[in-house]
Homo-oligomer: A and B are copies of this chain.
Amino acid sequence: MIKNSEFVEIKFLPDNVSIRVKKGTTILQAAEKAELSVNTECGGYGSCGKCKVKIISGSFEKHKHIELSDEEIKQHIQLACLTEIFDNIECLILKQAEFEVSRSSLREKSLYKREFIKDSVPFTFKYKSLLEKITFKVDNPDIEHNPDDFERIKMKLIDLYGAVDIRCPISLLKRIPGELRKKDGLISLDILKSGSSMEIIQTTASREKKYDYGFAVDIGTTTVAVQLVNLIEGKIISEKSEYNRQILYGADIISRIVYAMKNGGLEKLRTKVLSTINNLIDDILNETGVEKKSVDYCSIAGNTTMQHLLLGINPRYIREEPYVPAVLHFPKFKAEDLKLNINPNGIVYITPGVSSYVGGDITAGILQSGINRSKILSLYVDLGTNGEIVLGNSEWMTACACSAGPAFEGGGLKCGMRAEQGAVEKINFDKNARYIKYEVIGGSKPKGICGSAIIDIISGLYFSDIINQKGKFNFESENKRLRKGENYSEFVLIYGNETSTGDDIVITEQDLDNLLRTKGAIWAGISTLLKAVDIKSSDIEKIIIAGAFGNYINIENAILIGMLPDVEIEKFHFSGNGSLKGAALTLISEEMRIEIEEISRKITNFELSSTHGYMEEFIASLFIPHTEAELFPSFIKKKKQKPEVRSQKPEYRMKE
């Protein structure tokens, strides 16, 4: 039923937005053009099955997909990315609001705090920012001796600092004559020194400005966090975070890289992450009353891909063997180069990375952890969308990255959500998994489950015999919570009468598959690193877990499912968003900024994909806890306490 025109009109509900597009455009492309957000994790490649729309009127060609149930297809529910339109249609975007709602609730969690940054690290360091604020009085000219204004300033800088090459942007040269004459030659400069060269960043007559500020930024694949820091006092003034607005173009790094290679994709991703950061900056400045022009410095941590995308650098070679990023040790930029909403002459420092997948977020986390300063053998595990692992001490460090997926940030799960208001963060099963206790962030009715609860669920379901070692449901258990869902079998964690949405909160067999892959990837990474340097789990003296969890994960459960090394609980520490904390350290201390550069050069990177034994280890780790259960003595001990569980051998065991 193709009408005789090149264009068709599509109307989106619930927003009631219409747009004219060329025939053959997919519903997803039309929604992007209309700037509507449609839930997609794969970036529109037909694989994630998230971008469901219900077609209300108009003709369309039905398609089938593993993620679409027969019932859904009957109800005209289709995937937006696979449905091309040739007729005027009206459609309802399902789940569209998910990110929007989460975003606003996430943003409410902004902090107005005055924490000293030094209190968050287990060592001491020198407070001396790369940026210095200096005040001096220049000589007043007379008719016999009348050097130009800039010369009079330069003479003082040469005198005070021995500077040779003094740079000054035009915008400040313009201000200098007026500022010099306001207070009879008394002037304050914010300066950046680098060897014998020096750059003027800000200039004000006398000491009009009492404080200097900087922003620490962490760009996660899923979440962006920003902290306003008082550079003089070394205090955190405020902190906010928000979903990375790039999420609409793919849930993980690889989807983003693929999207960046599309025509115009790179620029879209750049503007999305930039607007995420600038909005957080604007909000903080508005709330705190700090002036934009008083912010002269910004330190940006993030994984290698995120840093590339922020700069608009094509990340394609990150994904292609031999995995060479464009840049890991970034030159310094000006805020205006990136279009960051601070003083345009302000300096932007980007934390250095180690490799394509061990980026500037990890070096920042290591900096904050102090692992590099200590003789204690430590393991650092960052549980983000990518899982990064660092093993080492002050002598040596090795690292690797494993594609964990977004499960710990609530992504890729039927009822997953971020660790925020309404998320179940802890969960306990009775021995038969008939009665379930849970804790919800904010104390309200539950809406979904977040990362920390997920680990409890796998452990709980396994030890109550609901799932087997391969994560498959055991229907012989005859648990009433276990049922066939629309597409997959599922286990009801919380019935709809207790939830805020009225829907049951469930975990599906597909979720379990995802989760085993996540925990398997992490363990395989840890294990590969340990083997590479010939160290046993038991040799590890300290384990630092970084990542944004609710009230932190249950370590016992994480060990029981075979995700983390089976060592004493006392060895475990949580560092929260170590990346953001590390970025803040580089703002207030030049010693720290130099140290992070050293860290990035000191870490030896393992590309897991080309590391012997990784794939085998990964496959062995898809079992609970592992094909070699003896790696996890706690598991064996717990098993023994639970004699009713059939002592079945793993069905699959790798040859060594």
Contact = CB atoms under 8 A, between A and B. Distances in A.
Interface of A: 141-143, 146-151, 154, 164-170, 173-174, 176-178, 181, 194-197, 311-314, 316-317, 321-333, 337-338, 353, 355-356, 607, 610
A315 B323 CA distance: 54
- Greatest chain B CB density within 10 A among A176, A316, A329 is at A329
A324 B146 contact: yes
Given A324-B147, A326-B148, A326-B177, A311 B197 contact: no
Contacts of A321: 143
Contacts of A338: 170
B194 A165 contact: yes
Given A165-B194, A165-B195, A325 B148 contact: yes
A176 to B, nearest CB: 6
Contacts of A317: 149, 177, 181
Contacts of A323: 143, 146
A169 B610 CA distance: 33
12 contacts: A146-B356, A148-B324, A150-B326, A150-B328, A150-B330, A151-B329, A165-B194, A169-B337, A174-B311, A194-B197, A195-B195, A195-B197
Contacts of A324: 141, 146-149
A149 B322 contact: no
A317 B181 CA distance: 10
Contacts of A610: 143
Say how many copies of this protein the assembly contains.
2
Given A150-B327, A177-B313, A195-B197, 19 more contacts: A142-B322, A146-B323, A146-B324, A146-B355, A146-B607, A148-B324, A149-B324, A149-B325, A154-B329, A164-B195, A165-B195, A168-B331, A170-B333, A170-B338, A173-B311, A173-B327, A177-B316, A181-B317, A195-B196
A179 to B, nearest CB: 11
A328 B194 contact: no
A203 to B, nearest CB: 12
B329 A148 contact: yes
A170 to B, nearest CB: 5
A82 to B, nearest CB: 32
A176 B324 CA distance: 12
Nearest to A338: B170
A329 B141 contact: no
Contacts of A167: 331-332
B195 A149 contact: no
Contact of A314 (B164, B169, B177): B177
B314 A146 contact: no
Contacts of A151: 327-329
The 7 closest A-B pairs by CB, nearest first: A150-B327, A148-B328, A143-B322, A146-B322, A177-B326, A148-B325, A141-B324
A148 B331 CA distance: 13
A168 to B, nearest CB: 5
A71 B245 CA distance: 74
Contacts of A181: 317
Contacts of A173: 311, 313, 326-327, 330-331
A550 B143 CA distance: 38
Contacts of A168: 331
Contacts of A178: 314
B329 A150 contact: yes
A200 B174 CA distance: 26
A543 to B, nearest CB: 28
